[in-house]
Amino acid sequence: MKTQNTILIATVAAFAFALVPVTQAAPNPGGFASRYSAAEQPSPGGGPARANEKPEAVELPVVTIHSTDNVTRGKMGSFVLDMKPALMFGGTYVNFKISGTAIPGVDYVAPVSPAYMGSSGYGVISIATLANRRGSFNRQAYSVVVTLEPGAGYAVGATSSAQMWIK
């Protein structure tokens, strides 16, 4: 039983030390954990110690999108989501909307928002195209546009939409 407790304590301690760079933890002279350094301790009134000090800006990962290429009817097309920096533990869900000249249910199977992005920082929105229901005489290409929408835990980058053509 003592061996199991020792292993558990060692594992928890190693995990805590692994999280120090992520949480930006620092020793506190009072002995209790604090998110402030000694110079930044809040005043007893609840505000920052310095009157002109601003709260820290939270930097969110930025998500962008691009299309892999145009797609032939009956094939799979895809949009690739890219998140910088990637999330270290787990992924996130990214909201999107679809527009364009292609009609869901006629030209393609509409994917459901949100899309999952793994811890690698990449995600895929697949577009399954359908056979030409308008007749073989109509060889017109139709567009599918995916536009990223803001959400919790991420920011939308400059490349917020991408387009592919169903031929």
CA angle, 123 then 125 then 130, to 5°: 155
Q: Which of 66, 102, 70 is nearest to 81 (CA)?
A: 66
Could you tell me how many residues make up the chain?
167
Q: How far apart are CA 55 and CA 48, in angstroms?
A: 8
Report whether 121 contacts 86 (CB < 8 A): yes
Q: How far apart are CA 153 and CA 86, in angstroms?
A: 12
Q: Which of 94, 88, 107 is nearest to 164 (CA)?
A: 107
Report whether 77 contacts 127 (CB < 8 A): yes
pLDDT digits (tens, 9 = 90+) for 116-126: 999 999 999 99
Which CATH code is given to the segment(s) 62-166?
2.60.40.2030
pLDDT digits (tens, 9 = 90+) for 12-71: 556 555 655 555 555 545 455 555 555 555 555 555 554 455 556 678 999 999 999 999
The DSSP call for residue 71 is B
- The pTM is what? 0.64
pLDDT band at 136 (very low <50, low <70, confident <90, very high): low
Q: For the chain, which residues make up each domain, given as ranges?
A: 1-57, 62-166
